[in-house]
Chains A and B, each alone.
Chain A
Amino acid sequence: MIELIKNPNINFLGKRNIAFLVSGIFAIIGIIAIVRIATGHANLGIDFAGGTAIQLKFEKNIALHDVRLALESGGLKEFDLQDLPTENKILIRVKKTEQELGLVSENITNSISQKILNNTYVVDSTTVVGPKVGGRLRADAAKAVAMAIIGILIYVAFRFQFKFGVGATIATFHDVLAVLGIFYLMGKEINLILITALLTIAGYSLTDTVVVFDRIRENLKLKQKDSVESVMNTSINEVLSRTIITSTTVLLTSIALFFFGGEVLHDFSLAMIMGVIIGTYSSIFVASPVVLLWGGKRLFAKK
């Protein structure tokens, strides 16, 4: 039998103050990110902010500088350029413009065709999103995250006690905030696919929390004499290896996606990798301490 850690006996709950500090910082960064996103100061993707994104695939290697000059000569002022040098691809993003939708993309391709003559290209993808759609998608995304979290709260409260529901929900929300906050700090684009990753993280990080809670519930019945804190510690230690292993398998596939899944899924898998790691941490260090802090000794009373 290969065991990750033989008979672990770590005082997880005793470290709750450090954990609350670390998680508090994560949560604050996440909340700042949300405020910045809501006020439109974050690096919002085209799908949320509205605008035009064009990805071009050139035949030969292309210098960003040349593309910039070509676009400026075509009268474009505010745009972002990003390149994938290994594949000779360039991503051009134009956020707010006075030009009519659709004309921007034409303007871009025209300027490049006129100025860059020795390197042919094909248009890999074009995304044009009007401000109305962007606003609606932003509202939808916020609604979805809220709905998912309420759904989780209800389910866990229904299956366990309400206090556990709150603990699980706070841990889950913490994971979502942390990943969002890190993405914000990294200056990564906040877009629909990231929201998808966040919701998946919310669902998945709960798996570990449920495993821990299940054991706590079971042990609360068996070990009525021990303190709640020690029951929780024992339970977390007992399920520690499975918590880590279930996360490891998902981590393995997320890493495979990150390295081999292609450019479009790159940020998605990065978010998943972070989410799985943070979710494992929070199911150990956040979920149970919250229940302890709030529920205290009365947990034995029911069920």
Chain B
Amino acid sequence: MKKNIIWRLILIGVTLILAAVFFLPNTPLFPYMPEWWKKNMPDKGIVLGLDLQGGLHLVFEVEGNKAVEITTERIATRLKELFAKKNLTAEVIASGLTITISPSSPDIRKAVEENYPILVPVETGTSLVCKISDKEAQRIKDTTADQALETIRNRIDQFGVAEPTIHRQGENEIVVQLPGVKDPKRAIDLIGKTAQLEFKLVNDDTKVAAELPQSIAPGDEEELLKQFAGRIPEDTEILFEKKVNKETGAARKIPLLLKKQAALTGDLLSDAKVNIDSRFSEPYVSLSFNAAGAKLFEDVTGANVKKRLAISLDNTIYSAPVIQEKIAGGNAQITGSFSMEEAKDLSIVLRAGALPAPMKMLQNVTVGPSLGRDSIEAGKSAGIIGTIAVVIFMIFYYRFSGLIADFALLFNIVLLLGALASLNSTLTLPGIAGIILAIGMAVDSNVLMFERMRDELRAGKTPRAAVDSGYNKAFWTIFDSHVTTLITAAVLFQFGTGPIKGFAVTLSLGVAINLFTALIGTKSIFDIINSRRELKKLSI
């Protein structure tokens, strides 16, 4: 045998062994391997995509503008304090992204400029309208998205999901992938909740408060708010407490007039835990404040004995108990008709902290585990049946040469699986389709070569010469046809989302490996046969 045939055989052997080693974790054999193997050899293999193992793929948009609005409001409050200190009389109104200060005067403009360089004037005239500069607004949005990401990560960590993927996408989007989650709705609620916890004093003693109805039916909130718009004091707002009748299950909403300014907020918490009420054996969430929070809580309760303090989460009131006495020690509790799960999730979001801005869900793809299993089974059978069909066709049409091509095809499949495993690629359902199509395309190279060989044989060449020139002449055709498939695969990879990316990966790897197996694999077999003795006739 010629030396270069031996080298090629060694190359084929080594790649086969490598492929087998990498793919082993995906086979049922892996658990039986010795301990040293599991420790030192690849143990991950091909990873199943969300569409195959089931799970959630969520995309949220962080409403960064809300965060800018909040900052704008905060600055407006400080401006008021600043003007009061400097004895400047001006009205400061924050609305949305702008602050209006009227009347405007050189002193006021100077004070704003010196103390808040991030504010830029939009309009100067009798009143000064300004907003946060674009650059600063961008920075706020950016940090908001980062903080939101961190908060979500904390929540998911505490919720307990194996191998979650959480990352930012673009300017203000967050992608969350949770494989194998059994209760998608619960997970979505947990992640998407803003969880802005606020303690607000109830304004029971105003005249308007007495006019509020005892309770209303869910759905009528808008109407009630409209009815009272403009009539309630400026520093108050109406929020609703949800009450469910335990026997009938009917829900009612109780409107409450509250002070707008929160007495305490959730960022002063140090811990939140689920406890069980011993009398009704109902779960509730107990809160512990940090030192600053505890002090504030003591002051607020001390100054407002016999008044009611509402506990609101994302503008829904959970309870509004009457303060019986000054509460020291920094503990409080949230009661409500919680299920154990609800109480647990609430404690998680409170511990992980509030999102810096609300989020909107842009996309949710949830796949149940059974659909994923069915898909894998279907993919396997389609792959096996497709392979058998191609194998039989090649033998039928090209006889012995077809058999050689079939060996190359199997070699190709093993290498492809090995390559996917070595990259720890994520296998998706379209990815399975990519593998199966690649199987159909794999023999194309051999078809092109065999047809070339037939041309050469017809032209009267000997089998050996026909094999050699067949390979040489077909090479560029094969190369060109592979490259065109790679071009579209590259485009698919560039623009595709998860599942489509998976397709692009399997298809392009399949095509690239095919170039290798067709040029090294089958050629070697022909060479080996030819090197023994010159063939008189080529079965093709």
Q: Which residues of A contact B (CB under 8 A)?
A: 1-2, 55, 57, 101-102, 105-106, 122-130, 132-133, 137, 140-141, 143-144, 147-148, 151-152, 155-156, 159, 192-193, 196, 199-200, 202-204, 206-207, 210-211, 214, 238-239, 241-242, 245-246, 248-257, 259-262, 264-265, 268-269, 272
Contacts and interface: CB of A to CB of B under 8 A. Distances in A.
Contacts of A259: 382, 385
A68 to B, nearest CB: 23
Contacts of A265: 378-379, 382, 429-430, 432-433
Q: Is the interface of A mostly helix, strand, loop or mixed?
A: helix
Contacts of A156: 484
B437 interface: yes
Contacts of B289: none
5 contacts: A101-B362, A144-B492, A156-B484, A192-B496, A256-B436
Of the listed residues A126, A152, A238, A254, the one surrounded by the most CB atoms of chain B closer than 10 A to its CB is A126
Interface in B402-437: 429-430, 432-433, 436-437
A200 B437 contact: yes
A242 B443 CA distance: 11
Contacts of B360: 101, 130
Given A151-B487, A200-B488, A256-B436, A126 B443 contact: no
Contacts of B490: 151
B178 to A, nearest CB: 13
Given A207-B484, A249-B393, A254 B366 contact: no
Contacts of B486: 203
A101 B383 CA distance: 37
B113 interface: no
B363 A250 contact: no
Interface residues of B, number: 74
Contact of A143 (B382, B444, B495): B495
B439 A253 contact: yes
Contacts of B476: 214
Interface string B432-474: 1100110111011001100100110000000000000000000
Interface of B: 51, 59, 61, 184-185, 188, 360-368, 370-371, 374-375, 377-379, 381-383, 385-387, 389-390, 393-394, 396-397, 399, 429-430, 432-433, 436-437, 439-441, 443-444, 447-448, 451, 454-455, 476-477, 480-481, 483-492, 494-497, 499-500, 503, 507, 540
A159 B439 CA distance: 26
Contact of B184 (A126, A129, A238): A126
Contacts of B540: 1
B495 A140 contact: yes
B188 A102 contact: yes
A214 B370 CA distance: 48
Contacts of B492: 144, 148, 196, 199-200
Given A203-B485, A204-B485, A252-B393, A196 B430 contact: yes
A95 B271 CA distance: 43
A249 B440 contact: yes
A101 B499 CA distance: 22
Contact of A127 (B366, B374, B487): B366
Nearest to B476: A214
A257 B491 contact: no
A1 B374 CA distance: 42
Nearest to A261: B382
A210 B477 contact: yes
A261 B396 CA distance: 25
Contact of B484 (A203, A239, A256): A203
A273 B51 CA distance: 24
Given A130-B363, A196-B503, A241 B444 contact: no
B59 A262 contact: no
B340 to A, nearest CB: 21
B451 A128 contact: no
A125 B397 contact: no
Contacts of B480: 155, 159, 210, 214
Query: 3 tightest A-B contacts by CB?
Result: A262-B378, A203-B488, A256-B386
Given A1-B540, A196-B500, A214-B476, A262 B374 contact: yes
Nearest to A2: B397
A260 B393 contact: no
A57 B367 CA distance: 12
B481 to A, nearest CB: 4
A246 B447 contact: yes
Contact of A129 (B185, B363, B366): B363
B366 A261 contact: no
Contacts of A140: 495
Contacts of A143: 495
Nearest to B457: A1
Contacts of A199: 488, 491-492
A206 B481 contact: yes
Contact of B382 (A125, A192, A257): A257
A193 B429 CA distance: 10
A192 B432 CA distance: 16
Given A143-B495, A249-B443, A151 B451 contact: no
B444 A260 contact: no
A262 B440 contact: no
B488 A151 contact: yes
B389 to A, nearest CB: 4
Given A132-B61, A144-B495, A250-B441, 9 more contacts: A123-B366, A125-B367, A128-B361, A130-B360, A147-B491, A193-B430, A249-B394, A262-B374, A264-B375
B440 A203 contact: no
Nearest to A102: B361
